[in-house]
Amino acid sequence: MKHIHFLFFLLLLISCKNDTAFYKHELTESAYQFFEIDNERDTILRSKEGVTIHIKKNTFSDEGAIKLRFAAILSKADMIEHQMYTVDQDGGMLESGGMFQLQNMSSPDEPFNKAVRLEIPAEYVNNKMTKYTLANPAEGLAWTNSGQDIDILHTKDMNRGKKLFNKHCTMCHDADLRKDLTGPALGNVHLHRSEEWLVQFTKNSGKLIAEGDLVANCLWFEWNKSVMPSYPSLSNQEIINIYKYIANESQKQKISRNEVSFTQTCDTTAIKTAESSGDRSQQHSHYSNPIYEIILPDAQWTNIDYLLKFETEITPIKLEMQTPYKDLTIMLSFQERNTVIPFETSKETPGTYQLLNFRNYEQITFPIGEKVNIIAHAGEPIKYFKVIEYTPKKQDNVIKLSLDIGSQKQFIQAIERL
């Protein structure tokens, strides 16, 4: 009898340990790219997504020619299309910098003899990214934090720029890049001014004004004829590093292209000046993207992720389907983040759907005011779909949803615009 009581307690403990629902998913072949290599030689491959794959000789146990398949789920559209969701093993929401898998097709589950190195282009640097792993999406799509930080290449210039920005710029400019202070907000300034102009203006704005530069004079008048301090001691490269930091921080802070209110007159002048000099396309070409570097020890899925934590609480987002559909899939994606979360059907109320793992919650942590998209499709292949924009509120997040007739091709076109 003691053994029976102990077994019952153990089963109860296991069942209560984690209430996370694991979404199971089998990835289709269309997500993969295929290569053939000589296992006796070091090999460098480049995927269609721009990922560089470094493979040492004898990485695999087979001899001679090896057939490989590689998947890189980088964009939000890819995550939506292939239903590769960003949820960890505890139900937490993740922001992804990319999901990857490399397999030897003759021995898909065999560990590598030598680690494979990936270099992944990134839009911006997030030092809080860590490595998550997943053995098999078909057994449960919930990522596990490996505890390993991600190495980031090409960041020396940005780090130097950050130090120079804090030393020379924050006396007059907002450190968060969004507010006008003594000087204007600088979020995404690199998208509105050429690099050459930024260097000249930062070194000596008074000289540009005196020479009759249209943009410099426009800014001078807009800011009550106050002149920005000159920095002749800074080299061109040091000034470029400052703006590399500003460019990366603008992306990291999710500052949209036109969020910061650059004076429209001055901005129009800047565009005309760039067009007349033929260098408009060069306005931000020198701000090269950083590269994440990760190591693959085996054929498990690997994900570059950041665990999202929000302080505000809202009532759960619920969907009420107006019509039943066969093969229905519903998910939520953030407009400003690579975060995609599936909805699951309510067991208590048929036709009602809630975000995965928040089914029994009265309140959930969620960013109020941050726009999301609700994406739903039905049919195999897709015959119906709907993509709507929604801004979660503090309360009453109930959405009535019906789908429109549409094809698989139209659905892909719709999600690529998100």
CATH of the domain at 78: 2.60.220.30
Same domain assignment for residues 80 and 192: no
Domain count, the chain: 3
The verdict on pTM exceeding 0.95 is no
In a domain, 18, yes or no: no
In a domain, 19, yes or no: no
Same domain assignment for residues 295 and 148: yes
**Which range (74-83, 100-109, 361-370) has the least confidence?**
361-370
In a domain, 401, yes or no: yes
In a domain, 209, yes or no: yes
Query: What confidence tens digit (pLDDT) does each residue in 225-235 have?
Result: 888 999 999 99
Helix (H) or strand (E) holding 214: helix 214-222
For residues 185 and 265, the answer to whether their CB atoms sit within 8 Å is: no
What is the Cα–Cα distance from 76 to 48, expressed in whole angstroms?
16
In a domain, 182, yes or no: yes
Query: What confidence tens digit (pLDDT) does each residue in 301-328 have?
Result: 999 999 999 989 999 999 999 899 999 9
The pLDDT score that the predictor gives to residue 194 is: 87
The pLDDT score that the predictor gives to residue 360 is: 61
CATH number of the domain at 192, please.
1.10.760.10
In a domain, 117, yes or no: yes
pLDDT over 50 (residue 218): yes
Domain of residue 65, residue span: 24-154+290-307
Q: Which two tokens stand for residue 334?
A: 């953030």
Residues 6+ apart with CB under 8 A from 303: 86, 94, 96, 98, 99, 100, 131, 132, 133, 134, 143
What is the Cα–Cα distance from 50 to 67, expressed in whole angstroms?
20
What is the Cα–Cα distance from 250 to 375, expressed in whole angstroms?
27
What mean pLDDT do residues 334-345 have? Answer: 92
For residues 407 and 382, the answer to whether their CB atoms sit within 8 Å is: yes
In a domain, 11, yes or no: no
CATH number of the domain at 394, please.
2.60.40
Query: What confidence tens digit (pLDDT) does each residue in 137-171 have?
Result: 666 678 999 988 888 877 788 889 999 999 999 99
Higher pLDDT, 52 or 20: 52
**Which range (213-227, 251-265, 322-336) has the least confidence?**
251-265
**What is the side-by-side strand order in the sheet with 151-153?**
43-46, 52-55, 116-121, 291-296, 151-153
Distance of CA 207 to the CA centre of its chain: 41
In a domain, 5, yes or no: no
- Please spell the DSSP secondary structure of 369-399, one letter per residue: T--EEEEEEETTTT-EEEEEEE---SS--EE
What is the Cα–Cα distance from 125 to 154, expressed in whole angstroms?
10
Burial of 169: CB neighbours in 10 Å, binned 0-12, 13-18, 19+ = buried
